[in-house]
Amino acid sequence: AQKITQTQPGMFVQEKEAVTLDCTYDTSDPSYGLFWYKQPSSGEMIFLIYQGSYDQQNATEGRYSLNFQKARKSANLVISASQLGDSAMYFCAMREGGQGNTGKLIFGQGTTLQVKP
C-alpha cells in the first residue's frame, strides 16, 4: 500500500537561511508523482512543486527545490532564503499513475515550519 511519512512534526529556521523538510514514501508502482503543498494559518492549500518518478532532473520552482532520491524513496523539500511568510504547515503527497488508477492521492502528516526573524 502507498504510504507517505513526514517525520518532523515541527521545525524552526532563521530568516534568510535554507531549510529542508523531509518526506519519504513507499509505493510499488514505478510511475508516480510527488507533490508539496503549503497550508498557511489561513487554511488554504497552495501547490508548491511537483516531481515525476521518471523526471530526469530534480524539480525547482523559485526558492523551492525538491531533493528527489528515488533509490531511497525520499522527496525532501528545500526552501532557500527563508522568509517570514514561509511559516506554515507543509504537506508531502503522492499520486500513483502510469497504467494504474490515478485517483488515489495520499498525504503525509505534515510539518509545521516557523521562520524566526
By CB under 8 A, name the binding residues for another protein.
4, 6, 9, 31-33, 35, 37, 43-45, 47, 50, 52, 91, 93, 95-98, 101-110
At its nearest, how many Å lie between another protein and the CB of residue 3?
Answer: 11
CB of 27: closest distance to another protein in angstroms? 12
- Which phi and psi angles does 35 have, rounded to 5°? -130, 155
CA distance from start to end of the chain: 41
- Cβ proximity to another protein, 33 vs 82, nearer residue: 33
**Cβ closest to another protein, residue 53 vs residue 82:** 53
Residues 24, 29, 34: CA angle, nearest 5 degrees: 45
Cβ-based nearer residue to another protein, 78 or 106: 106
Minimum Å gap between C-beta 15 and another protein is: 27
Residue with cell 519519504: 24
Q: What's the number of CA atoms in the CB half-sphere (13 Å) around residue 69?
A: 8
Grid cell digits, residue 15: 530568516
Nearer to another protein, 86 or 96 (CB): 96
Report in angstroms the alpha-carbon separations of 76 from 14, 28, 53, 98. Answer: 19, 19, 14, 23
How far apart are CB 117 and another protein at their closest, in Å? 26
